[in-house]
Amino acid sequence: MIEIKKYFQKMVPISKKDWEFFSSKLIKREFAKKSIILKIGHKENYLSFIEKGIVRKCIPQEFDDLTFEFAFVNNFVSAYDFFLTQEPSTYQLETLTDTILWSVSYNDLKIIYDKTEIGNTIGRLASEDLFMKKSKRELSLLNQSAQERYLNLFTEQPELLQFIPLKYIASYIGVTPQALSRIRKRIS
């Protein structure tokens, strides 16, 4: 829970009273490697901060899943579009490693917005973080080659990529596993 407090305090001061109220609404959730956090067709009830682990967003398919996002330590993760609408999700969230999340429920976040001075700012910062990741991902798909997307992912979280199966990385950068193998040979 200390890491989420540090994350917010880098951007905005939080009073002791607001932090105590906010932190009282946080739920620690622990998942084993390869656990499904959110299934397709279920409502996203949580906005979560990753204390430990890696989470991927994907659309399961018969032969190969379509991976479209990874979330790492000290970042937020949620099926945020479905968190906001409270409609059933059309994709799933899955852990790639043992994972610890600090989560706030949809209803508790609304209470935090109403009862604290800093609540709306906290919500805005979390949503801006998720939006920036999504925007960066979309622009990379439009403006970068698969090799550039791979190198960027490797630059952002090099120590964590060893925990992500290559087939998920290939899907994320938009190539087949064979094409990723050729990219890796070229840059090594």
Residue-wise pLDDT for 31-86, tens only, equals 999 999 999 999 999 999 999 999 999 999 887 889 999 999 999 999 999 999 99
Lowest mean pLDDT among 48-52, 102-106, 114-118: 114-118
Q: Is the pTM of this model over 0.75?
A: yes
The predicted pLDDT at position 156 comes to: 78
The predicted pLDDT at position 100 comes to: 97
> Please, which pLDDT band fits residue 104 given cuts at 50, 70 and 90?
very high
The string of pLDDT tens digits covering residues 127-166 is 998 899 899 989 999 999 999 999 988 887 777 778 899 9
Q: Say how far residue 123 (Cα) sits from the centre of its chain.
A: 15
Q: Return the structure tokens found at 36.
A: 């499904």
Domains of the chain are: 2-143 (2.60.120.10), 144-188 (no CATH)
Cβ-based neighbour number of residue 24 at 10 Å: 9
The predicted pLDDT at position 63 comes to: 79
Q: Return the structure tokens found at 155.
A: 């630059």
> Please, which pLDDT band fits residue 92 given cuts at 50, 70 and 90?
very high
Q: Do strands 36-38 and 27-31 pair parallel, antiparallel, or not at all (unpaired)?
A: unpaired
Can you tell me the distance from the alpha carbon of 21 to that of 168, in angstroms, rounded to the nearest whole number? 38
Please, are residues 9 and 64 in contact by the beta-carbon 8 Å criterion?
no
